[in-house]
């Protein structure tokens, strides 16, 4: 693989013959996801120990009990003094009960219109005592069932609270109480060379595995499943099955959700994590409203036409973003965008992928006007769209 900062990541899932019915609390063996090439991967841990400082309390629904989503963080010893650092063994022991393993099932359809079940494996971090868990979007994307296995071996069916593809963050919930949530740190305080550990579920069968390393870079641009994001880079070993897991500092604080690694010939020691400060904001929005607030929207649904093969499949002769739907009353609707339009440029810059469109949007704020060039009935049309959040 060519050495570069932007790394494409893909997951291959192992097919299984049939879907098993599971009660809410289950005891059984798992079938796990095997991956090759560049893989999405992570290690999960939660954190125990005393702590002091501010914490965020919130409600899920009007009748829901008060619960702590996350704590932010000055960890303390039993005598109340601040924790300056722990051994790796101390950290691993403290986070063990906040580590979960995740397995998923998904219904797929073959080119011959036959349905079959695929299974996948990942990890997650407990962030509330009553069952809220943070993982990656790509771990649960499209899953028809999600199972969570706790450190004590108990298993629960999980439900999806909400998920965000752009940041690769998802929140799921199990119906359990008395769980041990992780303590969240401050990823803005990290420095290159700082020692960290990842704890997770490599190969989907080795839950609780601990690996150590350092922070190798603080702001590495990485592309995962077409999503470009700025991630922490670490030398801690990351393996398949660790997606959605955690990266921790030596105070036992969660400082990142590990979501990718680069693997290939002679490639080692390249792991990536979503900074925990990003995860905090996204997770709170997902829990409170089901979506990330303040993000620019267009009010359109579209398909990527980024290759000649795709263009032939959809019967078009240009590359771009094929608009399949325009929400009535949206800013795109008011600007005149229509279904079957093909967006070929934004602000005079060619776009053929979702990542390119999002990159263009990220350079603007609500209230700005962007120029969209589309192909409509074999004619070029330019439209001005006022952006909204």
Q: Are 162 and 253 in contact (CB under 8 A)?
A: no
DSSP conformational letter for 66: P
Among the listed residues 105, 123, 138, 239, the single catalytic one is 138
Is 138 marked active-site? yes
Is 105 marked active-site? no
Residues 6+ apart with CB under 8 A from 58: 66, 67, 69, 284, 287, 288
SS3 content of the chain, % helix, strand, coil (to 5): 15, 40, 45
**What are the tokens at 109?**
């359809």
Sign of the dihedral through C-alpha 309, 312, 314, 316: positive
Is 30 marked active-site? no
Measure the CA angle with vertex 104, ends 98 and 108; round to 5°.
Answer: 165
Among the listed residues 216, 243, 262, 263, the single catalytic one is 243
H or E segment at 137? Answer: helix 137-140
DSSP conformational letter for 160: E
Residues 6+ apart with CB under 8 A from 196: 212, 213, 214, 215, 234, 236, 247, 248, 249, 250, 255
Among the listed residues 97, 130, 164, 168, the single catalytic one is 168
**What are the tokens at 183?**
């303590």
Whole-angstrom Cα distance, residue 82 to residue 87?
15
Residues 6+ apart with CB under 8 A from 2: none
Look-up of token digits 């219109």: 113
Q: Are 24 and 131 in contact (CB under 8 A)?
A: no
DSSP conformational letter for 4: -
Sign of the dihedral through C-alpha 320, 323, 329, 333: positive
Residues 6+ apart with CB under 8 A from 374: 320, 323, 337, 341, 342, 343, 344, 380, 381, 382, 383
Residues belonging to the active site: 138, 168, 243
């Amino acid at each position: 693989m060519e050495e570069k900062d932007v790394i494409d990541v893909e997951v291959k899932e192992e097919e299984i013959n049939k879907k098993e019915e599971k009660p809410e609390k289950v005891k059984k063996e798992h079938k796990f996801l095997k991956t090759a090439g560049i893989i999405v991967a992570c290690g999960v841990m939660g954190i125990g120990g005393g702590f002091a400082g501010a914490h965020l309390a919130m409600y899920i629904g009007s009748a829901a009990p008060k619960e702590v989503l996350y704590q932010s963080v000055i960890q303390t010893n039993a005598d109340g003094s601040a924790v300056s650092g722990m051994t790796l063994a101390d950290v691993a022991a403290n986070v063990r009960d906040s580590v979960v393993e995740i397995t998923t099932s998904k219904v797929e359809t073959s080119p011959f219109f036959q349905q079959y079940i695929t299974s996948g494996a990942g990890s997650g971090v407990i962030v509330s005592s009553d069952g809220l868990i943070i993982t990656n979007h790509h771990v649960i994307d499209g899953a028809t069932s999600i199972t969570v296995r706790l450190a004590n071996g108990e298993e629960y069916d999980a439900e999806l609270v909400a998920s965000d593809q752009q940041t690769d963050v998802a929140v799921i919930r199990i119906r359990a109480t008395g769980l041990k949530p992780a303590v969240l740190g401050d990823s803005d305080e990290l420095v290159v060379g700082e020692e960290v550990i990842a704890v997770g579920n490599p190969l989907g069968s080795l839950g609780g595995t601990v690996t150590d390393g350092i922070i190798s870079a603080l702001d590495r641009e990485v592309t995962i499943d077409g999503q470009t994001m700025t991630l922490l880079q670490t030398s801690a070993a990351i393996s398949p099955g660790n997606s959605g897991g955690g990266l921790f500092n030596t105070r036992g604080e969660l400082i990142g959700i590990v979501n990718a690694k680069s693997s290939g010939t002679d490639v080692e020691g390249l792991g990536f994590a979503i900074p925990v400060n990003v995860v905090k904001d996204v997770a709170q929005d997902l829990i409170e409203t089901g979506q990330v607030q303040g993000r620019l929207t267009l009010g359109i649904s579209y398909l990527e036409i980024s290759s000649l093969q795709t263009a032939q499949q959809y019967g078009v002769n240009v590359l771009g973003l094929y608009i399949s739907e325009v929400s009535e009353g949206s800013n795109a609707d008011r600007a005149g965008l229509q279904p079957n339009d093909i967006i070929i440029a934004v602000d005079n810059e060619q776009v053929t992928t979702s990542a390119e469109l999002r990159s263009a949007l990220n350079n603007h704020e609500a209230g700005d006007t962007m120029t969209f060039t589309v192909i409509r009935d074999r004619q070029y049309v330019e439209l001005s769209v006022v952006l909204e959040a």
